[in-house]
């Protein structure tokens, strides 16, 4: 049975996470400001009820958080990296303790399934574990000098204040993807969460506060400023913030990137995706269907890695289409806290309007509705945010197909000839985040992964486009922004690189044999 979060149920979860019914929108970690900005109601798309109210941060609050972060950085950067890693290790343990209530809050505030909410908290735990090991591996390079008696090497230093702008669809994991790495690197962080999911942000700050206070972490290492675009603008334009990590739409990313670039700062952009799966004649249908369906409808199509397009070879097109139609008929839509449901709501009624508009535009451009969409109403759907996943036969050049719609709409299209033709279709969109191919042909898979293959930051074989493991660097190309977060060597974006030369002789030879005698 679905758990219905009554007012009492919500209060119990908030109490477990140490969240007050009315909350401040700014914090330096241990201290919460008495913010007086515009009130923000966090409205659950599950039932349409107010979870809690937040007083958003003002420019004065923002300034206080930044100043405290700068002050904290002077101390935090002197802590040995393994000691910073130990703090992050303890945060992982605290997240394990709070996994159930935080995962439930993520599910209820954002609308994703409970398993996805719990999975998002697990991602936080995983990235903390990764960062703990990383804290002992922040390595540089040693190289030979052309001058005798000289040693050259490279090392990395922390940047300072890292600004984090996160989106509603992963309201906690993406923040921690950044903070876990930034903290072990010696940086301090100031977070502007999505105003559509502020309560989970407050929960994270409260959990972090427990760990940081127990370890005497300097006040200001974990800053929070809740508000709208005006707070994001302050971060983007602030010369005291050397790196801004922004996750969201391409439109937002262009604005942030331009503002940060104008002051020659660094930006880490994780923006829109228009992800495709290529299905070749040799693909195994048992793998195609679950991969495509979950990719398209998981999180109600509100992942940046959601599958938007299926590019299907004409030999298997009808068979794949029939299998998809049958699978979509079995999808259960409803309360995401009920584990028998596959699909929860969209984030709000604005998202519903965009979903409806996209379907209309697809038909106007010549698309054929294969599985009809629509907005659900009645018992259990009172929030007005529940929609039916839709499938549309379309052409890749349609304007609406070229655009990322954050909703469960899947466009299917044919290709003929070799896999090169499918790759050309896949690459023929402005975005370049995630991609996949379903095939049992090693030649097709290798072509897909070659220099002339997928132009995306993520390219998978025989798995879908949706989701990623924290061990690999996450991000994409083109209008996706070019940023990389999470695993691999993504830590380097949070540090500044320095080349050092040491002369241990009694002479001062110049490079390239230049002579300069007085």
Active-site annotation, residues: 270, 304
User: How many DSSP H helices and E strands does the chain contain?
Assistant: 15, 23
Determine the Cα–Cα distance for residues 339 and 204; give it in Å rounded to an integer: 24
Contacts of 494 (CB under 8 A, 6+ apart): 158, 159, 162, 178, 181, 182, 185, 187, 243
What DSSP assignment string belongs to 446-495?
HHHHSTTS--SSEEEESS-SS---TTSEE--EETT-S--EESTTGGGGGE
Q: Do 270 and 174 touch, CB atoms closer than 8 A?
A: yes
- Nearest in space to 9 (alpha carbons), one of 324, 285, 337: 337
Q: Do 85 and 72 touch, CB atoms closer than 8 A?
A: no
Determine the Cα–Cα distance for residues 375 and 462; give it in Å rounded to an integer: 33
CB atoms within 10 A of CB 263: 12
Structure tokens at 91: 């945060």
Determine the Cα–Cα distance for residues 340 and 318; give it in Å rounded to an integer: 29
**Residue 369: enclosing H or E segment and its boundaries?**
strand 368-371
């Amino acid at each position: 049975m679905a758990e219905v979060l009554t007012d009492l149920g919500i209060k119990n979860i908030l109490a477990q996470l140490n969240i007050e019914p009315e909350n401040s929108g700014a914090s330096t970690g241990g201290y919460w400001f008495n913010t007086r900005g515009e009130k923000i109601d966090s409205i659950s798309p599950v039932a349409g009820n107010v979870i809690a109210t937040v007083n958003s941060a003002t420019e004065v609050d923002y300034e206080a958080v930044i100043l405290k972060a700068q002050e904290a950085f002077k101390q935090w950067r002197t802590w040995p990296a393994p000691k910073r890693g130990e703090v992050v290790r303890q945060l992982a343990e605290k997240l394990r303790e709070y996994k159930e209530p935080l995962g439930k809050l993520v599910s209820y505030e954002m609308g994703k399934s409970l398993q996805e909410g719990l999975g998002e908290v697990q991602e936080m735990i995983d990235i903390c574990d990764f960062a703990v090991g990383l804290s002992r591996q922040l390595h540089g390079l040693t190289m030979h000098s052309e001058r005798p008696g000289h040693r050259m090497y490279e090392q990395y230093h922390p940047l300072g204040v890292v600004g984090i702008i996160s989106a509603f669809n992963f309201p906690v994991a993406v923040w921690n993807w950044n903070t876990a790495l930034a903290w072990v690197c010696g940086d301090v962080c100031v977070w502007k969460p999505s105003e559509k999911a502020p309560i989970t942000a407050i929960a994270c700050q409260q959990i972090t506060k427990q760990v940081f206070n127990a370890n005497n972490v300097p006040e200001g290492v974990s800053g929070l400023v809740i508000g709208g675009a005006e707070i994001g603008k302050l971060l983007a334009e602030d010369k005291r913030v050397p790196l801004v990590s922004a996750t969201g739409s391409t439109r937002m990313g262009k604005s942030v990137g331009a503002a940060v670039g104008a002051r020659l700062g660094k930006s880490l952009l994780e923006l829109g995706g228009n992800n495709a799966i290529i299905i070749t004649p040799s693909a195994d249908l048992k793998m195609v269907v679950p991969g495509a369906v979950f990719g398209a409808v998981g999180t109600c199509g509100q992942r940046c890695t959601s599958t938007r397009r299926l590019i299907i070879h004409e030999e298997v097109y009808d068979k794949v289409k029939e299998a998809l139609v049958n699978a979509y008929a079995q999808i259960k839509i409803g309360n995401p806290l009920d584990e028998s449901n596959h699909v929860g709501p969209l984030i709000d009624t604005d998202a519903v309007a965009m979903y409806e508009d996209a379907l209309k535009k697809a038909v106007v451009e010549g698309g054929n509705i294969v599985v009809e969409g629509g907005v659900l109403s009645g018992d259990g759907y009172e929030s007005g945010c529940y929609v039916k996943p839709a499938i549309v036969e379309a052409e890749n050049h349609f304007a609406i197909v070229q655009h990322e719609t954050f909703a469960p709409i899947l466009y299917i299209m044919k290709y003929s000839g070799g896999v090169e033709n499918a790759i050309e279709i896949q690459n023929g969109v402005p975005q370049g985040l995630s991609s996949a191919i379903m095939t049992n042909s090693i030649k097709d898979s290798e072509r897909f992964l070659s220099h002339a293959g997928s132009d995306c930051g993520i390219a998978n074989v025989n798995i879908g486009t949706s989701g990623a493991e924290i061990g690999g660097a996450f991000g994409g190309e083109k209008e996706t922004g070019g940023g990389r977060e999470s695993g691999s060597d993504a830590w380097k974006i949070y540090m500044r690189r320095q080349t050092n030369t040491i002369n241990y002789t009694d002479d001062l030879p110049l490079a390239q044999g230049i002579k300069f005698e007085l």
